[in-house]
């Protein structure tokens, strides 16, 4: 006898007749709806600006998933009891084979195209995928030096983890509440949905990354689907349709309209939750109308159904393809992204036909076989990932002379912030002849690392604090700056812009204040206003250190023999040269242009005479790079700081 959870919880009412599997009527329009979810997601990730809200397709997937799976669970619980093992077997058949196949194919591409730090990150994501915790990993990775999301081949697996975490809990929860009367079940589901939605609104203001990646603020979307399923299950009758034709068409047209409003961005773009509400409510309206309508006939067209059938595999394949092309910096090649979209659907069809289909067929792949393949696959996946993490990616595969070029990610964060961390928000030594305050993002870390290497004629006391790059190191009305940053960063940035008593004291006590940042275009128009306000408030002691970006490509450097590397120079980025020139024009002698200091005719050295590299990534400076900048800054130190300290 196959003893199930239903039998354990309620053995008296449990139906031992397990020979008939419950069938749920197939709805072609739901596959068509999947097409309306996956296509916008893929086009959004391909970079098509017309689909800038295409990411909302993931929210549509969540609602569909919550609806379908909970509807099946409700019927099973109500008729024969919940077979939890069978439930997870179905999930394994649906999710794992295509996922394993995709990862198996991209592993060689990762090995040959990712540098050690990124390969280590990729290895960690393999472990996270195996543990259904990708969302937690990517949430924890959100930080200053985090790799651009577009360059992470497995970033999209965060949504799979959300679903699996939900389904680890939800079947048991549904079983527990099923004994209550109908209206109590509704109240419980509404309460859970409302609590999760409230958390999503709170996260938008105070913890945006948590709200995006973690299940607490995402569960409401799946629960909206659950509510739709419960409504339909509770109301359906054998006597006829639930709605009149007029009502059914009105509901589905409204649902489609709400989805299109969400995708079109006809809402406050600083409040993405409104967009999520549009598409989730629109989706559930389409789902609860289980009868022939204008919209259902449209969604049941072969083109939509065909895309919907391969939508899961298409979702799996698109991100790795796009990521590897962007890693190689090929995305500018005409029609390449279009070709990748076509390739995505070709691979998706192959995966659906030859991987998904056979593994979902119980006559071809038995329950024992799928259990074996699933366990072995997850263990192997986790093992490969753990090995990659312990070995620092593929660092060991590089020659000693190349380690500095490719191993930057494992060293960068530790060094760049080292000097600032040592004196972060630290009061000045009042006995020091010169007090220097450093403010800004990681560019200020580079500047401080260089400055502390200088030969000062007298005792110098340093202090520092950080304003993240995406916030902007300006001292103007925060309400102005908020217009230029994402809503998800507003709470963090307002906290960083606010001057605490400690920082006001530092500004008052400092003899020199240097503000350094990876300056952005929108900040050009406000830099003079910011500096004028600081000078008026605290005196004429402020300098700005400009931005610096080099066209750094490790693959090119690796082709150069170590003996020839001291002669290698990189071209400065044109937009940064122009930005620094604009800053120089309005700030005059109170602006320090890194290119003027470190480069000649816009050509910047990358190695010293010992073939030691100056930059980790084309922006942040290594110890050798800080020493080089320090030497170039010595005339400035002698002219400004040492001269003043000697006069005093």
Q: Say whether both 386 and 425 belong to one domain.
A: no
**What average pLDDT does the segment 161-173 reach?**
96
Q: Say whether both 419 and 378 belong to one domain.
A: no
pLDDT given at position 280: 98
pLDDT bucket at 2, cuts 50 / 70 / 90: very low
Domain with 459 in it: what CATH number?
Answer: 3.40.50
Domain boundary among 350, 372, 396: 396
Contact 135, 214 (CB under 8 A): yes
Task: Give the model confidence (pLDDT) of 23-73 as tens digits.
Answer: 457 899 999 999 999 999 999 999 887 888 999 999 999 999 999 999 999
Structural tokens at position 317: 């394949």
110-114, 239-243, 622-626 — which is least confidently predicted? 239-243
**What average pLDDT does the segment 219-234 reach?**
95
State the Cα–Cα distance between residues 445 and 362, nearest whole angstrom.
59
Task: Give the model confidence (pLDDT) of 288-312 as tens digits.
Answer: 998 899 999 999 999 999 999 999 9
Q: Reply yes or no on whether the pLDDT at 404 is more than 80.
A: no
Q: Which has more confidence, 11 or 570?
A: 570
Task: Give the model confidence (pLDDT) of 625-647 as tens digits.
Answer: 999 999 999 888 888 776 655 54
The answer to whether residue 543 sits within a structural domain is yes
Q: Say whether both 259 and 350 belong to one domain.
A: yes
Residues 260-263: contacts with CB under 8 Å, at least 24 apart: 262/53, 262/56, 263/40, 263/51, 263/53, 263/54, 263/56
Contact 557, 529 (CB under 8 A): no
pLDDT given at position 18: 33
pLDDT given at position 590: 95
Structural tokens at position 596: 């003027």
pLDDT given at position 536: 96
Q: Say whether both 82 and 182 belong to one domain.
A: yes
Q: What are the residues whose beta carbons fall under 8 Å from the beta carbon of 589, sequence distance 6 or more?
A: none
The answer to whether residue 451 sits within a structural domain is yes
pLDDT bucket at 12, cuts 50 / 70 / 90: very low
Q: Say whether both 353 and 413 belong to one domain.
A: no
Q: Reply yes or no on whether the pLDDT at 1 is more than 70.
A: no
* CA 234 to centroid of chain Cα atoms: 39
The answer to whether residue 403 sits within a structural domain is no
The answer to whether residue 619 sits within a structural domain is yes
pLDDT given at position 489: 79
Q: Say whether both 392 and 413 belong to one domain.
A: no
The DSSP secondary structure of 421-441, one letter per residue, reads HHTBTPPP-TT-SEEEEEEES
Q: Say whether both 192 and 233 belong to one domain.
A: yes
Q: What angle do CA 240, 245, 250 make, to 5 degrees?
A: 130
Q: Say whether both 390 and 417 belong to one domain.
A: no
Evaluate the CA torsion angle 449, 455, 458, 459 in order and state its sign. Answer: positive
Contact 74, 121 (CB under 8 A): no
Q: Which has more confidence, 182 or 88?
A: 88
Strands 460-466 and 434-440: parallel
pLDDT given at position 643: 61
pLDDT bucket at 617, cuts 50 / 70 / 90: confident
Q: Which has more confidence, 619 or 16?
A: 619
- The parent domain of residue 137 ranges over 24-396
Select from 235, 278, 231 the least CA-distant residue to 257. 278
Q: Say whether both 254 and 167 belong to one domain.
A: yes
**What average pLDDT does the segment 8-30 reach?**
49
Residues 578-583: contacts with CB under 8 Å, at least 24 apart: 579/519, 579/521, 579/524, 579/546, 579/547, 580/546, 580/547, 582/524, 583/519, 583/524, 583/527, 583/544, 583/546
The answer to whether residue 518 sits within a structural domain is yes
State the Cα–Cα distance between residues 32 and 30, nearest whole angstrom.
5
**What average pLDDT does the segment 551-570 reach?**
88
Q: Say whether both 304 and 157 belong to one domain.
A: yes
Structural tokens at position 251: 């509901």
Q: Reply yes or no on whether the pLDDT at 425 is more than 60.
A: yes
Q: Say whether both 423 and 494 belong to one domain.
A: yes
Q: Reply yes or no on whether the pLDDT at 247 is more than 80.
A: yes
* CA 122 to centroid of chain Cα atoms: 14
Q: Reply yes or no on whether the pLDDT at 4 is more than 50.
A: no
228-237, 406-415, 451-460, 489-498 — which is least confidently predicted? 406-415
Angle of helix 527-538 relative to helix 501-509, nearest 10 degrees, comes to 80
Neighbour count for residue 66 (Cβ, 10 Å): 30
pLDDT given at position 593: 96
Select from 220, 628, 194, 272 the least CA-distant residue to 450. 628
Domain boundary among 361, 396, 431: 396
Q: Say whether both 565 and 419 belong to one domain.
A: yes
Domain boundary among 332, 364, 396: 396
The answer to whether residue 489 sits within a structural domain is yes
* Cα dihedral 589, 494, 421, 546 in deg (nearest 10): -20
State the Cα–Cα distance between residues 611 and 614, nearest whole angstrom.
9
The answer to whether residue 597 sits within a structural domain is yes
The answer to whether residue 443 sits within a structural domain is yes
State the Cα–Cα distance between residues 498 and 479, nearest whole angstrom.
12
Total structural domains in the chain? 2
pLDDT given at position 21: 37
Task: Give the model confidence (pLDDT) of 89-143 as tens digits.
Answer: 999 999 999 999 999 999 999 998 898 888 999 999 999 999 999 999 999 887 5
pLDDT given at position 13: 32
Strands 603-605 and 569-571: antiparallel
Q: Reply yes or no on whether the pLDDT at 5 is more than 60.
A: no
Task: Give the model confidence (pLDDT) of 475-513 as tens digits.
Answer: 999 999 998 987 677 888 998 999 999 999 999 999 999
Residue with tokens 């102005």: 480
State the Cα–Cα distance between residues 279 and 268, nearest whole angstrom.
14
pLDDT given at position 8: 30
**What average pLDDT does the segment 329-347 reach?**
92
Q: Which has more confidence, 375 or 330?
A: 375
Task: Give the model confidence (pLDDT) of 571-615 as tens digits.
Answer: 888 999 999 999 999 999 999 999 999 998 889 999 999 999 999
What percent of the chain has pLDDT above 90?
66
**What average pLDDT does the segment 544-551 reach?**
92
């Amino acid at each position: 006898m196959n003893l199930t959870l239903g039998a354990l919880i309620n053995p008296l009412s449990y139906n031992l007749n397990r020979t008939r599997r419950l069938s749920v009527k197939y709805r072609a329009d739901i596959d068509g709806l999947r097409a309306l979810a996956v296509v916008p997601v893929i086009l959004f990730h391909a970079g098509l600006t017309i689909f800038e809200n295409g990411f909302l397709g993931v929210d549509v997937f969540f609602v569909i998933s919550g609806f379908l799976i909970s509807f099946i669970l409700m019927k099973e619980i109500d008729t024969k009891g919940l077979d939890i093992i069978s439930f997870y077997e179905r999930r394994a058949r649906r999710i794992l084979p295509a996922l394993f196949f995709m990862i198996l194919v991209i592993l060689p591409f990762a090995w040959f195209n990712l540098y050690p730090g990124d390969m280590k990150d990729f290895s960690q994501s393999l472990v996270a995928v195996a543990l259904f915790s990708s969302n937690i990993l990517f949430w924890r990775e959100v930080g200053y030096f985090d790799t651009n999301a577009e360059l992470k081949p497995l970033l999209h697996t965060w949504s799979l983890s959300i679903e699996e975490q939900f389904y680890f809990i939800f079947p048991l929860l549904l079983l527990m509440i099923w004994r209550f009367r109908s209206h109590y079940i509704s109240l419980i589901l509404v309460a859970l949905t409302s609590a999760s939605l409230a958390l999503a609104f709170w996260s938008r203001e105070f913890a945006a990354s948590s709200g995006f990646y973690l299940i607490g603020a995402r569960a409401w979307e799946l629960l909206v689907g659950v509510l739709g399923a419960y409504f339909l299950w509770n109301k359906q009758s054998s006597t006829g349709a639930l709605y009149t034709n007029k009502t059914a068409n009105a509901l589905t047209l409204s649902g489609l309209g709400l989805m299109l409003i969400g995708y079109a961005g006809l809402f406050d773009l600083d409040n993405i939750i409104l967009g999520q509400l549009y598409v989730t409510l629109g989706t559930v309206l389409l789902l609860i109308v289980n009868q022939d309508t204008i919209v259902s006939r449209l969604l049941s067209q072969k083109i939509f159904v065909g895309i919907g059938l391969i939508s899961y595999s298409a979702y799996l394949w698109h991100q790795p393809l796009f990521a590897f092309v962007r890693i190689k910096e090929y995305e500018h090649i005409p029609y390449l992204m279009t070709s990748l979209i076509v390739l995505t659907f070709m691979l998706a069809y192959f995966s659906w036909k030859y991987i998904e289909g056979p593994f979902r067929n119980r006559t071809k792949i038995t329950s024992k076989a799928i259990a074996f393949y699933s366990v072995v696959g997850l263990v192997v996946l986790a093992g490969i990932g753990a090995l990659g993490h312990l070995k620092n990616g593929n660092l060991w595969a590089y020659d000693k002379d190349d380690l500095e070029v490719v191993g930057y990610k494992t060293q960068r964060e530790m060094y760049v912030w080292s000097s600032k961390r040592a004196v972060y928000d630290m009061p000045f030594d009042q006995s020091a002849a010169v007090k220097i305050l450093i403010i800004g993002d990681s560019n200020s870390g580079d500047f401080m690392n260089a400055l502390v290497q200088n030969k000062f004629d007298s005792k110098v006391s340093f202090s520092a604090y950080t304003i993240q790059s995406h916030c902007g190191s300006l001292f103007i009305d925060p309400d102005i700056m908020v217009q230029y940053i994402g809503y998800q960063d507003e709470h963090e940035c307002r906290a960083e812009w606010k001057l605490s008593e400690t920082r006001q004291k530092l500004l008052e006590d400092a003899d020199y204040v240097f503000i350094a940042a990876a300056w952005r275009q929108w900040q050009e128009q406000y830099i003079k206003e910011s500096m004028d306000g600081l000078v008026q408030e605290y005196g004429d002691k402020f300098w700005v250190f400009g931005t610096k970006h080099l066209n750094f490509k490790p693959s090119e450097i690796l082709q150069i023999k170590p003996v020839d590397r001291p002669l290698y120079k990189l071209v400065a980025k044109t937009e940064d040269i122009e930005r620094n020139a604009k800053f120089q024009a309005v700030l005059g002698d109170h602006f320090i242009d890194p290119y003027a200091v470190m480069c000649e005719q816009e050509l910047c050295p990358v190695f010293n005479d010992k073939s030691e590299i100056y930059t980790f990534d084309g922006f942040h400076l290594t110890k050798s790079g800080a020493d080089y900048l320090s030497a170039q800054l010595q005339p400035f130190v002698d002219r400004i700081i040492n001269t003043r300290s000697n006069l005093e």
